[in-house]
Amino acid sequence: EIVMTQSPATLSVSPGERATLSCRASQSVSSNLAWYQQKPGQAPRLLIYGASTRATGIPARFSGSGSGTEFTLTISSLQSEDFAVYYCQQYNNWPPCTFGQGTKLEIK
């Protein structure tokens, strides 16, 4: 099973600033990596798939990069609605697909 490790566990950033979240896979997942956003009491929402392709309706301030074992989600200018928990998911080796433990993005 591929283990996904996200860092940091919590990230404190001021509105308007840039946030950079990391995700590492225990072995190569090629570009088969997705990012999700989850707000309290809500289901996860797909942001990015294929490591760098934004899902439908996702603002351009969200961008993804990386391949193999190292991935990054960047939010270029944080809006109030962006403070949430973010998960990465590998879907290269299925079953099982596996998720990272999450990064909580909080207001500084």
Partner 1 sequence: EVQLVESGGGLVKPGGSLRLSCAASGFTFSSYSMNWVRQAPGKGLEWVSSISSSSSYIYYADSVKGRFTISRDNAKNSLYLQMNSLRAEDTAVYYCARPLGSGTKRYFDYWGQGTLVTVSS
CA dist 21 and 19 (Å) reads: 7
Min. distance of Cβ 51 from partner 1 in angstroms? 11
Q: Is the peptide bond before 8 cis (omega within 30 degrees of 0)?
A: yes
Place of tokens 């973010």: 86
Min. distance of Cβ 88 from partner 1 in angstroms? 10
Q: Which is nearer to partner 1, 19 or 85 (CB)?
A: 85
Residues engaged in binding partner 1 (CB under 8 A): 32, 34, 36, 42-46, 49, 55, 87, 89, 91-92, 94-102
Contact indicator for 4, 102 with CB cutoff of 8 Å: no
Min. distance of Cβ 14 from partner 1 in angstroms? 26
